[in-house]
Chains A and B, each alone.
Chain A
């Protein structure tokens, strides 16, 4: 679409994110939440909504919801009333979902996102509420009947509803990245959109810039990756603008995104939308969050990405790029932070973690917890390089690979074993330098005639002679002095 036309409009986007909580048991029963069990094995009379059964609240789910609220700067609701959302669907065993309607556990928060130009923007959170998941309907190919798996029914969710503060798909993407980062830092959700543990619906509308009233919003569903959320929003914005430009009116509706075509198509119009008949859940007493409870959660809160980012940039003086990469996941950030407890060469620590450590993990598809080296071992390598005992190349090419294979070894011992302790004794080095210069009289003459680039060749020869153990910095310095004095 013509950029000029696009620029006339202001898209307004709000996101609803469902995060499946990593509790051991379901929201209202003791049934396990284990993923990947055989269908209909993680169930009980309560999950199936058998007559006479009642819900029992899982306090761990509440803990997790509060954590997310604190991480997003929300107010925590002290008296919570659960509600029933009524609708018929085969995978909804009770015919209603237990959720929160008028008293969401967290309200009025915000999440800071980073824009492409490096600016920060706050996306406000309207509410975060707790609810239970439904089961899964399965339509098997070639079968006329639909099968239902209730393993997921009753698994706790939080729904995070943003204000319509998002103005384009890049911001939506950045917001989702931040939400995912937070739930993973808090260890309350694995944040996997492909597997459905994180789900996102987008409310999209457009209005002429400067207009004082939002356009009619359309809800877009069925996106199974961050990228698809972005594509769906881009398409929906263009579709709505095209309609308005053609003089058409936008109807309030729910549209589904098709990842194959990149298009959205109508699913339900507003008239046919469910009337969920919310009312207070009489089977649960009001949930009161005491000061003690809230204090306990406060004490359990880990450092959050933006806090670590601030620490890494301000305290450790790292470049923003490094801080971003290092805080991408909690595990890497914590590992780096621990390395920094054993060294003050923060930039070197950052280079090591972003470089060799991450590459090693990526190559072998390992989690940080499976990384064989202790943070102190990385710090030791750094200290060996800093004190010129080994050179950087030897450290990355030889010591590091040796250590990950023999993690019980100390870096210094490894350097000795591999004969990599470098020659930084001036007298010894001078001897090697002299030897090289004597062996290459022609080159020395050329150098003196102005071909200064030959320094590299001399260095190479010295390295050859010392089998790479010559400390390059000192050697270079001594070589330069020698050449000058010739």
Chain B
């Protein structure tokens, strides 16, 4: 069977009788089995997916199928799906099954999506390499000694290795965009509040957004269109109407584009990525877009303020995993205190514990103002400055990552290095604006490079349209 790049391609073949949903599910199941070593899935819903494929095939035949009929997806192990295991790749939720379905997942199901499995990720979405998963890392298909990125590593690999057409991930500080860049796929994070978070396991609530990993811009637009919108179960979800993104992808507008000067001059930036970026800028200019260097004075504060705020929220969000109500409870517990300590010591991995402790520290009475309050102020400055730039420019472009995919275990000796790798993705997260990573080239070793594009809040339609411009006119084969 051929490799499909978008739902549109799939639907053409379904409509002409070339392929059925059952064929598609069988195809992906075979790929998953054949590429088991990539460890992209924690659980495959084999029987269920086949059964659902038959149902959708019948609906297609009857002309009653939803907008996502023919799309086979995987979901990151942070999304609640009723009666299915939900663990955040953590031992502490061992044996836990969700009692309900996340709003976004339900909306996909209502449009006849087929969910083929639950995907590996960093534990509680904390990590940038998928190495913090309690179930082992997912591997980059291009070179199995390299990480796929994270935290939505399994989700990126699944799309990269043709183990599903699209994945639903989550992005707190780049968790969709960074692995997309490492795995040569499209990674999209919407405006904060655009998609309901109900049913998304919380890491840092004021940053978390459900995002997508796809092979095409079209699929990213369509998935957003289906998932976005107000939700009575998430009062922070935006009430704004949802645009028909997938119908608004064509544009011949000449845009104003800014790029942050320092990002291209930063020491940690891989020279080949820099070259690629400069090439993109040249070609955008050649296409008569305006591209200008801009200054962003807070670059050095982005990563520290991001880690202070996210770990603070995480320390609170993860308090519920205490062994009392569900999930793992240490068998060695002798009293209440030891139940808490042993359950959490044994149930959480190293990175999660580190972040819980860091977050607890920055919220503690004696350090609250020095860290949490200050970081909140910095966040506001970053948000305001980013919005100011986005009033002047339609888009900000920057590399998704400072390097291409790095080796497994490569950052073990330098724990801070992996935090600094988030430098280009956390700006959009702090500002809450939408951002996308599109494949834009390869380095000399053939490793993919991602171009990140940011735009104004709730202007996803424009972001997708421009991404298509990049895809079609800027990337030279």
Contact = CB atoms under 8 A, between A and B. Distances in A.
Interface stretch (A92-100, A160-168, A377-385): A92-100
Interface in A262-315: 275, 277, 279, 282-285
Given A88-B322, A95-B316, A279-B363, A51 B201 contact: yes
Interface string B187-227: 00000000001111110111000000000000000000000
Contacts of A283: 202, 205, 235-236
Interface in B297-341: 312-313, 315-316, 318-320, 322, 324-326, 336, 340
Given A50-B99, A52-B202, A86 B319 contact: yes
Nearest to A57: B235
B324 A90 contact: yes
Of residues B232, B312, B325, which shows the largest number of chain A Cβ atoms within 10 Å of its Cβ?
A: B325
* Main SS at interface, chain A: loop
Contact of A51 (B98, B315, B316, B365): B98
Given A50-B98, A52-B198, A54-B235, A279 B372 contact: yes
A64 to B, nearest CB: 19
B96 interface: yes
B80 interface: yes
Interface string B337-373: 0001000000000000000000010011100100010
B93 interface: yes
Nearest to B79: A52
A93 B320 contact: yes
B316 A277 contact: yes
B319 A52 contact: no
Q: How many B residues touch the partner, as a band?
A: 35 or more
A55 B233 CA distance: 8
Contacts of B364: 275, 277
B288 interface: no
A284 B98 CA distance: 23
B232 A56 contact: yes
A179 B426 CA distance: 50
B325 A52 contact: no
A48 interface: yes
A148 interface: yes
A306 B343 CA distance: 55
Interface in B400-434: none
B262 interface: no
A95 B363 CA distance: 15
A45 B198 CA distance: 12
By Cβ-Cβ distance, the 6 closest A-B pairs, closest first, are A95-B319, A282-B205, A277-B363, A282-B206, A52-B199, A49-B320
29 contacts: A48-B326, A50-B80, A50-B99, A50-B100, A51-B88, A51-B96, A51-B201, A51-B320, A52-B79, A52-B200, A53-B198, A54-B198, A55-B235, A56-B232, A88-B319, A88-B340, A90-B336, A93-B324, A95-B318, A95-B320, A96-B316, A277-B316, A277-B363, A277-B364, A277-B365, A282-B236, A283-B205, A284-B236, A285-B236
Given A45-B99, A86-B315, 16 more contacts: A49-B325, A51-B80, A51-B88, A51-B96, A52-B198, A54-B197, A54-B233, A56-B235, A93-B324, A95-B318, A146-B336, A277-B360, A277-B363, A277-B365, A282-B204, A282-B206
